[in-house]
Structure 1
Amino acid sequence: MVDADAAHAFPAPQAGTVTGDVSISSSSPAAASELRARAANGRFVRTAHHDGADPSALPSDRFLDREISWLQFNERVLQLAADSSVPLLERARFLSIFSSNLDEFFMVRAAGLKRRIATGIAVRSPSGLEPREVLEQISRVAHELSAMQTRIFDDSVRPALVDEGISIVRWSEVEAPEQERLGDLFSHEIYPVLTPLAVDPAHPFPYISGLSLNLAVILINPKTGKEHFARIKMPPSLPRFLKVRRASASVTEDLFEAQFVPLEDVIAAHLDQLFPGMEVHEHYSFRVTRNEDLEVEEDDAENLLAALEKELTRRRFGPPVRLEVEEDLDDHVMELLTRELGVTEDEVYRLPAPLDLRGLDEIADIDRTDLHFPPFVARTNPDLAPEESSKAANLIERIAHQDVLLQHPYDSFSTSVQAFLEQAAADPQVLAIKQTLYRTSGDSPIVDALIDAAEAGKQVLAVVEIKARFDEQNNIEWARKLEHAGVHVVYGIVGLKTHCKLALVVRQEPDGLARYCHVGTGNYNPKTARLYEDVGLLTSDPVVGQDLTRLFNQLSGLAPRSKFKRLLVAPRSIRDGLLDRIDKQIHRQVQHGDGRIAFKVNSLVDEATIDALYRASIAGVRVDIWVRGICALRPGVEGLSDNIRVHCVLGRFLEHSRIFLFGTGDGREAWFGSADLMHRNLDRRVEAMVRIVEPRHVEQLFDLVARGMSGDYGHWSLDGAGRWTRVHQAPDGTPLPDIQEALIAMHAQRRRKARR
């Protein structure tokens, strides 16, 4: 049953907050009948590459807008922040995540659209909207969502935190002794790093860096009575909120309660020290978001690092796309900011202080286990668990005897993938290690293992994607670290990001060379592996080993015509491979009535794939889509997508795996890999998907997706008008269980059974 209140928890003007209500032109009985007839007679024509089906055979308004769909995803994050059944500090974290998500959306998606409009290269979107219409919708919806975040924080989360002894206070609410201590802190640790910048004929309006929090200060010269403007940037090296030590608090209260004051309040209280001899008339906080997407020419791969470093410097000077200001900002200060920054009225967001709620992540880290999700410790996969608890398992030996299917974070990354690479680096029989790296932590044990292997004389190849968005600087640093250790570092294929998640270990054994492989859906990052849900395969199958050898040769050398047996590789074969398998299920449905397709992805945008899924639905194939973020497909539309369901799951872990399932019974196929169903993944990235052949692993993947689509667990459901409805109550009104908590319990039980 749908909880009616939850379904309309975030009503939007005129039929829905972030929906684009459109009547589907295929929904008339006559049109539906015609579409079914075309499907039955095979009159949908597949084109050579992108078009999936003859566009004239399907309604023109069949796609939802991708930008609005992304904003809907961030609205679902807000719904978790508003949910009183979610632990309180996790609700604060979801508010922080919402802010970070929205920042990136403006820096990349909104900024990119604005840039294309300005250069005259923007085109009508597949949803049928003109570029300026999309930008207008983005502005409307983003304003609504920002207002929602404010209401949730001010009316729900903040009062609940106060009830638990955790409060964010203004300077005037801080006790006098603590004001004195914070004053000393300001003098010794804050004041020296501040740079007040005045605006006058000798000082032009300063450059405001993207995402920086600033104070706009209005000063009066007491001698002349003249008004002056100054800007102070909040030092990014300091915490967003400073902890207040209350003299009146007992030892117990100090352990379990916490009070914080915004950094800008502390600085504002000491402006007289920054502008001696001037009268501080007014001060307001503001924040600018800029276009921070990168454009790097890759014609000369030798200079890629230098070009990227140069572009990273330019990123700071991208044009503004959003201005956030305190809601009571004076009109003449607003006029100054908008004029100097060159932003329009639609790009201004008036919000109550404090701005930049990303800082709530610091508060969410408070050590209050009663206000967090229950503790979770990842467990070693039973196929890799040591027989004796005091000794680590020999993973090479285990993988030699059987494929191992991993699901993180339920299966420990450190005792599986990380241990596999560390053991390979230390194994004298290992001759070579080859690996792709997209994002990893700065102190990564994966990078350390590759360095150890190189220093031990092994051949080590790292295919590094230094252009992973917003991780570029970190990637440059550890790419150079690898090079200095003797690792062969390459940057993939010019014009394509290398996004596949692959590792290959070549080992000398008595019978000759053996290859051990890992293919996954997540980055080789031990930190995010504890928070992201991903799947991976450890295998010694010679077919996969040969496929990975060919793919690594393609990435490091020249092998453009490589063929693969258990892999699909973008940009050449993933889209066509999926479309072929969708067609097979259509034929299966026509012949036997049991066609079946199920996908689990982060985003579904690719029009050719969506059209193929529409054709499958029209033919009667049952299609299930488990999507976390963007979905441009309209499910449940009569005559077009009657047989398609779309669900979303959000929770303590970020659902990140990409799984593709086809068929029923003995004819089932299961694939997973690094690619989402988006143009960038299928056309502009090197992606890899692997077919799973072990029957028990195929069963596990089918069972996982079936659980997610069963309706037995809390989820969101998408309808044909583009509305997402939260479904988190059973017919009797009891809360539906959380699928991630269920999987935690299931994996723990599996581990206990394996011990017996």
Structure 2
Amino acid sequence: KVPNTLPRLIPVARNNDDTRRTYRFIWLEDLIAHNLSRLFPGYEIRQTAGFRITRNADLEIEADEASDLLEAIEATVRRRRFGFVVRLTVAKTMSTPIRELLIQNLDIAEEGMFESSSPLGLSGLMSLMSLDRPDLKDPPYMPVIHPRFRQIDTRQEIFDVIKQGDVLLHHPYDSFIPVVDFLRAAARDPQVIAIKQTLYRAGKNSPVVDALMEARENGKQVSALVELKARFDEESNIGWAKTLEREGVHVIYGFMSLKTHSKICLVVRREADNIRRYVHLSTGNYNAITANIYTDLGLFTSKPEFGADASDLFNLLTGYSKKTDYKKFLVAPITLRSRFAELIEREINWAKKGQEAKLIFKMNALIDPAFIKQLYRASQAGVKTDLFVRGVCGLRPGIPNLSDNINVVSLVGRFLEHTRIYYFHNGGKPDIYLGSADLMPRNLDRRIETLFPIEDPELKQQLIEILNIVAADEANARILRADGSYVRVASSTEDTGRFNSQEEFMNRAKNR
């Protein structure tokens, strides 16, 4: 096995007369292959070829066997490296007898073996980012503090800003710092009574977790739902859960059968007139690192209905509520699927009346069969539908008499497109929802997810502008065709360069 403690790319010394900024590397496995006689002295080396195995990474936890979810997941994570093999990738140079030997010993079907003439596994190429070659990289971008938060001097002022009106942050163009400052202010403000927080992928050295621990040290009531089943973040989240528990935070692990994927923070504060609840909701994780490279939207609000829904949601997560109706939120697996279907059906009815009917959805994936069928029905009724689906899409657009009113575009650019925006035209009085859920069975039926409406007219207009800018993208966009292939968007300004929505958002944030 090639050791994962060593760099995958080994630098080769340059000639002294090489004044250019050139770098040369060899793959670690090639270095090993050329020195096998040293590793196995006295043996005849007849053949060398690399192979790579992929193991099943799903966590299978039997509900009736797991009295302690944390212990059960710890044990399951330890067993992951022994999971059954689901794929074998071999070098093209590997002989048939060796291939057959691997198939037999790894207990994998022949169709599970793939041949590659490229290096096996390319994650090691990430190390090239550390090279001093700015000419090969995007210009650095520093996220900008949202104007509403630029003049804050005291802890109380951040709550005053939110109380004056909802604030929408568009990451990474808007900085994630106000989110961290919000939690730090809550931790230090003597008027704050309680903080409740969901954590799905917090990352390393998390300032969010630090703020929660500081709040507990200052005597606040702090609850954190740490989702232990976040794939490939299980070990990190187990560590955070134990750390938070040691600091006295009330840690909830969620449900055995449901992942908690909602992104929400609730701060309860004592004020002169009453108890006020401040809420932050997001399409992305509370992770200060990925907030600089993922596009997401986050909302600050102190609206009573949002605060009430947030309280009810946390009561559900802690097992103290079986509430099935919410004032504003759409919560999976309770209300989200049914209400979302009603909203699409409403557009179909507008179209049947001869009125303008439009749907604009931006998400990461679309594979839910029921919603795909409903979107086909909407297209047949005359509903104009624009879908921005970065990843897998099970819907085929542009099929006559089925989906000819549907356009599907995938955006892949410098930043990972992660926002979920759902626009329903509603006869010219649009409803717009943001949230954590894609249109996938796992999001709708097997996770705790939250979609929330944007009600402020200015923020609605901001989201409509975001969707319009995304729709105009020519640099990062690929159009899905009826045959399932993707084609690059044609440029309307080839002489001046393709319009790049992400660059436009960066420029707007810097000039705001």
TM (normalized to structure 1)? 0.65
- Pairing 1:377–2:137 present: no
Structure 1 residues 513 and 299 mapped into 2: Cα distance closer, same or farther (>3 Å)? farther
1:161-216 alpha-carbon deviations (Å, 9 max, x no partner): xxxxxxxxxxxxxxxxxxxxxxxxxxxxxxxxxxxxxxxxxxxxxxxxxxxxxxxx
- Pairing 1:648–2:413 present: no
Structure 1 residues 393 and 244 mapped into 2: Cα distance closer, same or farther (>3 Å)? farther
d(CA) in 2 for partners of 1:552, 1:674: 16
Aligned to 1:571: 333
d(CA) in 2 for partners of 1:249, 1:363: 23
d(CA) in 1 for partners of 2:302, 2:293: 28
> Please, which of 270, 280, 289 is the counterpart of residue 518 of structure 1?
280
d(CA) in 2 for partners of 1:395, 1:301: 43
Assess if the C-alpha contact under 8 Å between 1:532 and 1:654 holds in 2: yes
Assess if the C-alpha contact under 8 Å between 1:714 and 1:729 holds in 2: no
Aligned to 1:238: 6
- Pairing 1:362–2:127 present: yes
| C-alpha deviation, 1:301, in angstroms | 6.4
d(CA) in 1 for partners of 2:17, 2:264: 54
d(CA) in 1 for partners of 2:185, 2:178: 10
> Please, which of 361, 375, 400 is the counterpart of residue 163 of structure 2?
400
* Matched ranges for 1:181-200 at <5 A: none
Q: Which sits farther off after the overlay, 335-344 or 404-413?
A: 335-344
Assess if the C-alpha contact under 8 Å between 1:609 and 1:677 holds in 2: yes
> Please, which of 235, 238, 260 is the counterpart of residue 476 of structure 1?
238
Assess if the C-alpha contact under 8 Å between 2:472 and 2:499 holds in 1: no
* Matched ranges for 1:453-472 at <5 A: 453-472=215-234
d(CA) in 1 for partners of 2:99, 2:66: 45
Structure 1 residues 479 and 576 mapped into 2: Cα distance closer, same or farther (>3 Å)? same
> Please, which of 323, 337, 349 is the counterpart of residue 88 of structure 2?
323
d(CA) in 2 for partners of 1:733, 1:709: 20
1:283 match: secondary structure: coil
> Please, which of 493, 496, 503 is the counterpart of residue 255 of structure 2?
493
- Pairing 1:726–2:488 present: yes
Aligned to 2:115: 350
Task: Say how many residue pairs are matched.
Answer: 512
Q: Which runs of 5+ in 2 are unaligned?
A: none
* Matched ranges for 1:44-123 at <5 A: none
1:266 match: secondary structure: helix
> Please, which of 50, 54, 77 is the counterpart of residue 289 of structure 1?
54
d(CA) in 2 for partners of 1:342, 1:430: 58
Aligned to 1:412: 175
Letter in 2 for 1:320: V
Assess if the C-alpha contact under 8 Å between 1:600 and 1:627 holds in 2: yes
- Pairing 1:338–2:103 present: yes
2:5 match: secondary structure: coil
Structure 1 residues 719 and 246 mapped into 2: Cα distance closer, same or farther (>3 Å)? closer
d(CA) in 2 for partners of 1:568, 1:396: 25
* Matched ranges for 1:147-166 at <5 A: none
Letter in 2 for 1:679: P
Rg (Cα) greater in structure: 1
Assess if the C-alpha contact under 8 Å between 1:662 and 1:670 holds in 2: yes
Q: Which runs of 5+ in 1 are unaligned?
A: 1-232, 751-756
Aligned to 1:218: none
d(CA) in 1 for partners of 2:276, 2:500: 42
Q: Which sits farther off after the overlay, 659-668 or 365-374?
A: 659-668
d(CA) in 2 for partners of 1:666, 1:287: 55
Structure 1 residues 400 and 559 mapped into 2: Cα distance closer, same or farther (>3 Å)? same
Letter in 2 for 1:522: G
d(CA) in 1 for partners of 2:118, 2:451: 47
Letter in 2 for 1:420: F
> Please, which of 304, 315, 324 is the counterpart of residue 69 of structure 2?
304
Aligned to 1:429: 191
- RCO (CA 8 Å, sep 6+): is it higher in 1 or 2? 1
d(CA) in 1 for partners of 2:105, 2:474: 54
1:613 match: secondary structure: helix
Letter in 1 for 2:488: R
Identity of aligned residues (%): 45
d(CA) in 2 for partners of 1:239, 1:732: 41
Aligned to 2:395: 633
Letter in 1 for 2:161: R
Assess if the C-alpha contact under 8 Å between 1:603 and 1:678 holds in 2: yes
Structure 1 residues 404 and 245 mapped into 2: Cα distance closer, same or farther (>3 Å)? same
1:574-605 alpha-carbon deviations (Å, 9 max, x no partner): 11111111111222223351112111111111
d(CA) in 2 for partners of 1:745, 1:731: 19
Letter in 2 for 1:488: H
Assess if the C-alpha contact under 8 Å between 2:166 and 2:299 holds in 1: yes
Of Structure 1 and Structure 2, the greater helix share is in 1
